[in-house]
Amino acid sequence: METTKISIGEHFADIVDPRVNRTKRHLLLDIIVIAICGVICGADGWVAVETFGKAKEAWLRTFLELPHGIPSHDTFGRVFARLDPEAFQRSFINWVQALSELTEGQVIAVDGKTLRRSHDAVLGKAAIHMVSAWATANHLVLGQLKVADKSNEITAVPALLQLLELNGCIVTLDALGCQTQIAQTIIDRGADYVLRLKGNQGTLYAEVQELFAYADSCDFRDIAHDFQKTINGGHGRIEIRKHWMISEPEFLAYLDPEGHWKDLSSIGRVEAERRNGEQVERETRYYIASLAGDAEEFGSAVRAHWGIENQVHWILDIAFREDESRIRKGHGAQNFAVLRHIALNLLKQEQTAKCGTQTKRLKAGWDTEYLRKVLTGN
């Protein structure tokens, strides 16, 4: 287990212990590592983490000190409730960056998720909302940040992006993230952006619609553009997607005459049609982008964005039961969300078991050799 000890130790050992010296019966790193292992193996709360630790104490002693045995669930709860969540997040991000080098040109999908049962009505505490960044090619949560109370994703997204290495990547966001400050931050971090438009952008959404309507009326004649159409099918369903990108300088100057949108280079449209028997669904979406105007690249980026819903949010709800978690005390809910992301990353990177995340968690709990493989990557 030396690989695990070095990896976790290097990136989480510098976190400041929130306890006073006289109460430190258990080492902070031991507490963090047991919690990570427990969450990988199916623990969804502090009682389960303690139960896992006691069941696997002999194995844990092969690479942890455990001077006073396994901490109680109250100890886990108190420590993570007081642990500085920003420091824990930074350690997580540093660990992820050491775990895998980002693929050039890959899509980084950024989106938010509410931890629905983290609210406390008695204390007047609202449910916390986390913004996460997902590397779609590497299958890694790169980082996450809690949205400040009485705030929204508009302020949290730039703060998260500032923490990440994004050079050469394409950052995608849904409509709430379509803000000039966020576009500026993405470009400053050496990445490109693809931002979805909706009515909350004032006149910009309507103006992009009008420009595409004009282009349609003249069949895009003398307008710099690119087009791609894809057809995919399976299980009786057919999906047809049409992607347009307009990079006409006059159009861009009309949309942004004062240059508020940093490096704005194209506008995009997606027409999606889903056929399932007699049922047909159609949707049209509009985007702005710093991409040069390649419809295939644009289409790949917008399709990849949905990976954060399917590969992160859905799995956290189904395999990790995140929306059922009632951890609320102090910073406990925020820090437990980081533990889930650590576990999700490690389980995603382990490819030998051909099963879903929930089954991998069970397998890791039953088989310490498999858990070792999840933790070390070999």
Name every residue whose Cβ is closer than 8 Å to that of residue 4 and which is 6 or more positions away in sequence. Answer: 33, 63, 372, 375, 376
DSSP-derived letter for residue 309 is I
Tell me the C-alpha distance between 296 and 294, whole Å.
Answer: 6
Angle at 347 between CA 313 and CA 108, to 5 degrees: 50
Instruction: Give the tens place of pLDDT for each residue, 186-232.
Output: 999 999 999 999 876 779 999 999 999 999 999 999 999 999 999 98
Q: Is 357 helix (H, G, I), strand (E, B) or coil?
A: helix
pTM of the model: 0.90
Report pLDDT for 123. Answer: 55
- In the chain, % helix, strand, coil (3-state, to 5) comes to 50, 20, 30
Structural contact between residues 81 and 332, judged by C-beta atoms closer than 8 angstroms: yes
Q: Which residues pair with 113 in a beta bridge?
A: 130
Name every residue whose Cβ is closer than 8 Å to that of residue 230 and which is 6 or more positions away in sequence. Answer: 239, 240, 241, 243, 299
Report pLDDT for 6. Answer: 41
How many CA atoms are closer than 13 Å to the CA of 176, on its beta-carbon side? 13
Report pLDDT for 5. Answer: 42
Instruction: Give the tens place of pLDDT for each residue, 25-43.
Output: 999 999 999 999 999 999 9
| pLDDT < 50: residue spans in the chain | 2, 5-6
Measured in Å, how far apart are the chain's first and last C-alpha atoms?
10
Q: Is 284 helix (H, G, I), strand (E, B) or coil?
A: strand
Burial of residue 334 (CB within 10 Å: 0-12, 13-18, 19+) is buried
Tell me the C-alpha distance between 232 and 238, whole Å.
Answer: 6
Name every residue whose Cβ is closer than 8 Å to that of residue 218 and which is 6 or more positions away in sequence. Answer: none
| DSSP-derived pairing of the beta strands 225-234 and 192-197 | unpaired
Burial of residue 80 (CB within 10 Å: 0-12, 13-18, 19+) is buried
Angle at 135 between CA 357 and CA 144, to 5 degrees: 85
Burial of residue 27 (CB within 10 Å: 0-12, 13-18, 19+) is middle
